[in-house]
Amino acid sequence: MPTLHESMLMTKTIEYILSAVFLVLFVLFWNFVFGTPRRPDAHAGRGDHHE
């Protein structure tokens, strides 16, 4: 049974690791969303054909 101190340490460690992971993921995601489109012919009007 972990003590309260050990439990808090574990929680804080997980929080810090998650924060770092999410920061990296967020930067990658930003790059994915605002990066150059994979298909150069992709433009705004394409969605119409799928409606």
Partner 1 sequence: MMNHAGHMTTSATLLRGDWLPRPSVRGHLRSYVTPFNVVAAAILCIGAPVTVNRFVNGLAATTNLTDDVPWGLWIGFDVLCGVALAAGGFVMAATVHLFGLREYQPLVRPAILTGFLGYFFVVIGLMYDLGRPWRLPFPMVYSPGVTSVMFEVAWCVALYLTVQFLEFCPAIFEWLGLRRWRAWAVWLTTGLTVFGVLLSTLHQSALGGLFLIAPGKLHPLWYSPYLPLLFFASAVAAGIAMVIVESMLSHRVFRSHVEHHDERQMNRLVLGLGRAGAIVLMAYFCMKCLAFAHEHGWHLLRTPYGYWWLVEMLGFILCPCMMYAIAARRGLVWLVRVASVVTVLGIVLNRLNVSIIAYRWDAARRYVPDWQEFVITITIVTTGLIMFRWIVNRMPVLHDDPRYEPVH
The least CB distance from residue 39 to partner 1, in Å, is: 7
How far, CA to CA in Å, does 12 sit from each of 2, 5, 22, 41, 48? 14, 11, 15, 47, 48
For the chain, strand residue ranges (E) read: none
The least CB distance from residue 22 to partner 1, in Å, is: 4
- Give the integer Cα–Cα distance in Å for 19 and 5: 21
The least CB distance from residue 1 to partner 1, in Å, is: 14
List of residues contacting partner 1 (CB under 8 A): 7, 11, 14-15, 18-19, 22, 25-26, 29-30, 32-35, 37-39, 42-48, 50-51
